[in-house]
Amino acid sequence: MTTGAVVAIALGGALGTVARYELELAWPAAPGTFPATTLAINLAGSLLLGVLLSVVAGQTVPAHRVRAFAAVGLCGGFTTFSTWMMESVLLARDGEAALGFAYTAASLAAGFVAVALGVALARAVSHRRMPRFDPREED
């Protein structure tokens, strides 16, 4: 990984993390209630990730920097697996195990749909066949 990619990821991650933090402060979930803000953040990030990875797939080095900044850094910092899991455990601890399970299942299913929708949206807007993104490809 190049220094430029590390800097791009760090900058995107800083912006994404601050955005998530501010949204969680603005719309906190009360104990024992469905964590709608985290779910909305994760779904928005999943949708954006699908769009971004479709747009930059198969592009040149500048697109790799965009992918590092926006997909890995920004979306990675914005979305949050750890908060999602913590909220699920807290719901179970607070006697809302069924709600915690529903939150976990809904997050997985809706996240998958959001990424697929982002890919479809990017393809529809571009009016062309986009190359498939393979995250195993090296920069």
SS3 117: helix
CA angle 118, 123, 125 (to 5 degrees): 95
> What pLDDT was estimated at residue 100?
95
* Model confidence pTM above 0.75: yes
Between the alpha carbon of residue 86 and those of residues 17, 53, 59, 117, the distances in Å are 17, 28, 37, 27
Under the banding of pLDDT at 50, 70 and 90, the label for residue 28 is very high
Give Cα 110 to chain centroid, integer Å. Answer: 12
Q: How far is CA 110 from CA 14, 116, 134, in A?
A: 25, 10, 21
For the chain, the structural domain boundaries read: 3-126
- pLDDT digits 0-9 by tens, 82-120: 999 999 999 999 999 999 999 999 999 999 999 999 999
Q: What is the pLDDT of residue 139?
A: 46
Q: What per-residue confidence (pLDDT) applies to 136?
A: 60
Question: Per-residue pLDDT averaged across 20-34, rounded?
Answer: 94
Q: Where are the beta strands (DSSP E) in the chain?
A: none
Task: Please name the amino acid found at residue 62.
Answer: P
Length of the chain in terms of residues written: 139
Token digits of residue 94: 């607070």
The set of residues, in sequence order, having a beta carbon less than 8 Å from that of 64 and lying 6+ positions away, is 5, 56, 139
